[in-house]
Chain A
Amino acid sequence: MSRLLIWRKLVNGVMLSLTGVCTVLTVAALFAILGLLIYNGGKSLSWSFFTQLPAPPGELGGGLANAIVGSVQIVGAAALIGIPIGFFAGVYLSEYEDKMFASVVRYVADLLNGVPSIVVGILAWALVVKPMGGFSGLAGSAALSVMLIPIVTRQTEQFLREVPLSLREAALALGANKWKMIATVVVPAGSKGVLTGMILGVARISGESAPLLFTALSNQFWGGLTEPTASLPVMIYKLATSPYDDWNRQAWAGGLVLIGLVLIANVSARLVLARGVSVPRG
């Protein structure tokens, strides 16, 4: 072997292993987060954590029950607003496509997806909090739904596009009109992917804290959609930046619960998708 060849092989080996090392580092970040949360938050997890209101500073015990329920309320309402809009927009982009217009919409949806979450919070503040005259869980839901819409739209579109043309043609040949074809053939065929997209979108917004800071605000007690409501992410932020050790411990536990919920959602979404693709190829 010539010296050049040896050198090239050496470079090849070194660089390929370098890419491997970077991959390992990336994966390690996730496990570092998980490990830290379990190590620091595991100790504070108890039954009362899920059932009690936060304790005043200095008192031991207490839980984040209101934040957990509040998160479910806010995210649930956001999903009710955002999923239908995003889904139908996705159907439009995939099925009723007017080429030029659709690509503009797609581009704008991608841009909307990249808008900083805090700016979305300002939008919800101006559109919901100000006219309604106060902070409310509903304003938080509005902010989160704005973030959810582009995610669901793009996912729905992407998975409906994968439904083979032959299925559509078969439906149309049987005399179905376009709407019937979409509702009874295309959407059911792509339903697994679409469902996955929705779960991933909801998981993504449920960890957002910035848009809730000055829309849903927070609350030491039970909230509701019409009043300031505590949510897990905002609560974690408040507890983690507080000077009280006990609150900091609660924040770790809250983080563990939040990441647990999000991971469960993510993994179940992947399982839905992995368990047999409903779209016949070809």
Chain B
Amino acid sequence: MTVPFIISVSRESLLAVPREQREAALALGATRWETTWQIVVPYAKLGILGSIFLGLARALGETMAVTMVIGNDPKAHVSLLASGYSIAAVIANEFAEAGGRLHPSALVELGLVLFGLTIVINGLARLMIVATTSKGSKRS
């Protein structure tokens, strides 16, 4: 589910790389792959990293698809192959039935933690992407 995000955002960053950079590399005799890997990708590096961060934040907040397959085990396991639980899954499973004052509050707190995590990651990612795309448009 993170793949479409990474694709569309890193594509934008790669498109922001000025044409002259590619042409210069090709004119110097680089193959297409060398142009891509040594010129285009480093130029758009920050934006691509940003797109990966965006994907990461998206994955952190993904609820339903994870809830259905993660196993919903409240114990922490080291192994990735054992059942587990994610913040979003806990909220999804317990919120509708949470009674009293403490339980909903605890779940809202979990929501705050999740919100804080994704805001920080997304904030960094967006800054990186803006830096890359504006760098490209200024020079071209």
Contacts and interface: CB of A to CB of B under 8 A. Distances in A.
A118 B111 contact: yes
B123 A126 contact: no
Contacts of B91: 118, 121-122
B114 interface: yes
A102 interface: no
A125 interface: yes
A119 B111 contact: yes
Contacts, number: 90
Contacts of A110: 122, 126
A16 interface: yes
Given A114-B122, A237-B68, A241-B68, A214 B57 contact: no
Contacts of B23: none
Interface residues of A, number: 31
A107 B58 CA distance: 17
Given A110-B126, A111-B119, A214-B96, A116 B63 contact: yes
B34 interface: yes
A115 B31 contact: no
Given A116-B60, A237-B64, A16 B54 contact: no
A8 interface: yes
Interface in A204-237: 209-210, 213-214, 217, 233, 237
A16 B36 CA distance: 10
Contacts of A9: 31
B118 interface: yes
Contact of B57 (A114, A240, A241): A114
A214 B58 contact: no
B44 to A, nearest CB: 15
A141 interface: no
A125 B91 CA distance: 12
Interface in A1-47: 8-9, 11-12, 15-16, 26, 29
Interface of B: 3-4, 7, 31-34, 36-37, 54, 57-58, 60-64, 67-68, 88, 91-92, 95-96, 107-108, 111, 114-115, 118-119, 122-123, 125-126, 130
Interface of A: 8-9, 11-12, 15-16, 26, 29, 107, 110-111, 114-119, 121-122, 125-126, 135, 209-210, 213-214, 217, 233, 237, 240-241
25 contacts: A8-B31, A9-B31, A11-B33, A11-B34, A12-B32, A12-B34, A15-B33, A15-B36, A15-B37, A26-B7, A107-B126, A110-B122, A114-B122, A116-B62, A116-B88, A116-B115, A116-B118, A117-B63, A118-B111, A119-B115, A119-B118, A122-B91, A122-B95, A122-B111, A241-B68
